[in-house]
Every structure is written in C-alpha cells, then in structure tokens.
Amino acid sequence: MNEIDALTLKLLTSKKKYNAYLETIDPDKSTEINNYITSVKTNKERIKSMFETYLDDPEKQTTNELDNAIEFCLKEFLKYFETRDREDISEKNDYDEKDENEYSEEIENNISYKQSFWGKTIIKEK
C-alpha cells in the first residue's frame, strides 16, 4: 500500500477500525499502539494530576518539552471551545449568516469573567 492510501485510510476511519485493520496488516504497529493505550490507562491518575498542576499553576515548569506540549494542548482546547461556541450560536440562529461583530457580541453576553490562570488579566468563562 502506498503512503497516500495509508494516510487516507488512517484519516477516514475511526481509531477503533483503523487499529483492527492494523492488527492484520501491520502487527508490530498494532502492538505499539496497544502498548501506548495500555500505558495511558496505567498512568491515567498521574496524567490527570499533572494537568491539574498545570491548570492550578501555569508557570510550573517540568521539562521544556512537556511544558510546550501542555501549552499547545491547552491552546488547542481553547480553539476547539471557540469553534464549538460559534457552532452553537449558528445553530441557535438556524445557521443564519451574521458578521463577525454579531458573533463576538453574542459570545460576550454569554460569558462571565474571573481571574486568569495565566496572570493578572481577566479570562472569560461560561
């Protein structure tokens, strides 16, 4: 199978079906994925604790790689939440087209303010 077919298969199937497919085609890769899943499940509480530490004190330093990865992860969460907020507003308005300011005003009206985890600025929270 060429690289384009493999990428298409990976991106257009669910993780569960893709992993089942890998078991028959590439057992080594399947074993690697299963070991990863087991490792995550085994360390679930430690991972939760680490995230809670970062949420409580974003300036906490562990390693540069881990700090960068968690910062990237949190930024992706925020982008995801913003997208979901826009989708929810669009759905409420029957997907009626609005300009950018109308979305911002509606989001602002549905959000409360509290102290930021990242410093002295205010963050918005639903």
pLDDT in tens, the chain (126 residues): 678 877 887 788 888 888 788 788 888 888 898 899 999 999 999 999 998 988 898 888 889 999 999 999 989 999 999 999 988 888 887 766 655 556 566 666 665 555 555 655 555 555
86/120 same-domain check = yes
For residues 84 and 112, state if they share a domain: yes
Q: Say how far apart CA 80 and CA 124 lie, in whole Å.
A: 15
Residue 20 resides in a domain = yes
* Owning domain of residue 71: 59-125
Domain contains 68: yes
The verdict on 11 and 36 lying in the same domain is yes
**Count of structural domains, the chain:** 2
In angstroms, rounded to a whole number, what is the distance separating the alpha carbons of residues 113 and 116?
A: 9
Global pTM value: 0.55
**Residue 50 is assigned to a structural domain of this protein:** no
Burial class, 9, CB count within 10 angstroms (exposed 0-12 / middle 13-18 / buried 19+): middle
**Residue 54 maps to a domain:** no
